[in-house]
Structure 1
Amino acid sequence: MTEEKKTNQNIEETEENDDLKVVMPEANRVVMEPEVFKEQPDYLKVFANFYIAHFDGRDLEIMNLYDTDHNIVDINNYLRNNIHFPRKTLVKHVLQWHDYNFNNLLDQMKKTEDIDPESMVTYEDWDKWYEKRRSEIQNALS
């Protein structure tokens, strides 16, 4: 085949392909900005971690003593809906949306207990307080 015939054949094939060419529109892409998390104090992160551990164990009766404004309902609803997150992520997320609920609980504890939540910066501090508080309740089952 001569060079001229090859060129003419390629042109004819191209014209046939143009008739069948499918044009796909460019997808509309939306990029969401990553969520910016508020910086939380360490004592609040530790308390949220402690709270979630007791939530998982269905052991919040002591916390209920300090809930005057139904803060536990708000926190627990959020936790139930997002419990699939790993604990570290869940602490960060629950504090993003419900830090005021945790602070309300801690404020009530300050009023009725002789504790300073800001000085309780380890899980063990909260665990000791919780067990001490539980032992003070008469007729406790645990």
Structure 2
Amino acid sequence: MTEDLKNTETEETTEETTEDQFEVVVPEPNRVEMPATEYKEYPDYLNVFANFYIAKFEQADLEIMAAFDGNHDIIEINTYILANEAFGRRNLIKHVLNIHAQNFENILANIKAKTGLAVESVRTFDEWNDWYSERRNNISQTLS
């Protein structure tokens, strides 16, 4: 029995010294916050065009716009819109322009080059809608 008692006492003292050696210290959390996204101000004509484009995207009516796609700009924009469908329209316009303003500028430059339309002077959604309807009506109808 005494040997068992000695072993027990030895184990207890060993545990106490082990606890002192391995004290767990939990560090304070070091939090890093991402900086807020900065949004540039874009000209009105670009905001209006982005709004019009998103409306046509939601209606699955971008066939006419495809004629003015130079370097896969439409694919870039559409992918972004699909990935961010949860945004409301105003918020989506702000975000898509922040990332893809140059893609919209490329499409507008192609529209200007191919049709002669002064895209900077188109300031309302209805003007873009009228232009789009006119382009659609000018497509020759074929019977096949």
What's the TM-score bracket when you normalise by the shorter of the two chains?
Answer: 0.7 to 0.9
Query: RMSD in angstroms over aligned alpha carbons?
Result: 1.5
Counterpart code for 1:57: Q
Q: Distance in 2 between matches of 1:109 and 1:26?
A: 57
The CA deviation at 1:27 is 2.1
Residues 63-107 of structure 1: CA distance to partner in whole angstroms, max 9, x if unpaired?
A: 001112111011111111111100101001100111110000000
1:30 matches 2:32: yes
Larger Rg: 2
Identity %: 48
- Give 1:120's aligned residue: 122
Matches within 5 A, 1:44-123: 44-123=46-125
The CA deviation at 1:23 is 7.4
SS in 2 for 1:115: coil
Counterpart code for 1:139: Q
Unaligned runs of 5+ in 2: 1-23
- TM (norm. structure 2) is 0.78
- For this pair of structures, how many residues does the alignment match? 119
Counterpart code for 1:72: I
The CA deviation at 1:114 is 2.6
- Give 1:139's aligned residue: 141
Match of 1:129 among 96, 109, 131: 131
